């Protein structure tokens, strides 16, 4: 009778320890995986960006609603502009793809938050804005 109780007690203690240990380890691993997945850097060649285009893009963004959901350095409703710049190579294909996305809106590349569509933007202006965002690449 005494033995049975003891084994039961040891069993409980062991599972409690394992439980605590596994709790302790989990958050660290999850955080690591999140940052790796979040930016998903795409390899590619970077074209040079004319300063006047980047400057114009910055002004267009300031006059639009972009900063209600985006910040330059920090994730907000949408991804930080610097994180977008880290992910995409600077070239025509990605600039046009992202400009199209800004106009039609959408979600799924960075999570489940939705970007509102911007049908009032011309494709040219959207491309200029995206060029500014990608110019934040370090």
Quick check: 64 binds ligand HEC (CB under 6 A)?
A: yes
127 is an interface residue for ligand HEC by CB under 6 A: no
* DSSP code for 116: P
Q: Using CA atoms, how far apart are residues 18 and 12, in angstroms rounded to an integer?
A: 10
Q: Tell which positions 10-29 bind ligand HEC, by CB under 6 A.
A: none
Residue with tokens 């809106």: 105
Buried b (16+ CB within 10 A) or exposed e, 94-105: bbeebbebbbee
Instruction: Return d(Cα 124, Cα 127) in angstroms, integer.
Output: 5
Whether residue 83 contacts residue 39, with contact meaning beta carbons closer than 8 Å, is answered with: yes
Nearest to ligand HEC of 24, 63 (CB atom): 63
Q: Is 115 annotated as a binding residue?
A: yes
Q: Is 1 labelled a binding residue?
A: no
Give, as ranges, the residues between 95 and 124 that touch ligand HEC (CB under 6 A).
98, 101-102, 106-111, 113-116, 118
Contacts with ligand HEC by CB under 6 A lie at 61, 64-66, 68-70, 77-79, 84, 98, 101-102, 106-111, 113-116, 118, 129-130, 133
Which parts are annotated binding residues? 66, 70, 115
């Amino acid at each position: 009778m005494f033995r049975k109780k003891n084994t039961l007690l040891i069993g409980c203690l062991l599972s409690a320890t394992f439980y605590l240990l596994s709790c302790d380890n989990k958050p660290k691993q999850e955080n690591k995986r999140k940052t790796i997945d979040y930016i998903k850097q795409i390899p590619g060649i970077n074209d040079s960006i004319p300063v006047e285009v980047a400057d114009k893009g910055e002004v267009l963004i300031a006059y639009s609603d972009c900063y209600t959901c985006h910040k330059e350095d920090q994730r907000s409703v949408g991804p930080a502009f610097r994180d977008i710049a880290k992910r995409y190579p600077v070239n025509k294909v990605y600039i046009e793809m992202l400009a199209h996305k800004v106009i039609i809106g959408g979600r799924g590349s960075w999570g489940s938050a939705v970007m509102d569509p911007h049908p009032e933007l011309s494709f040219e202006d959207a491309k200029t804005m995206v060029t500014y965002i990608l110019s934040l690449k370090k």
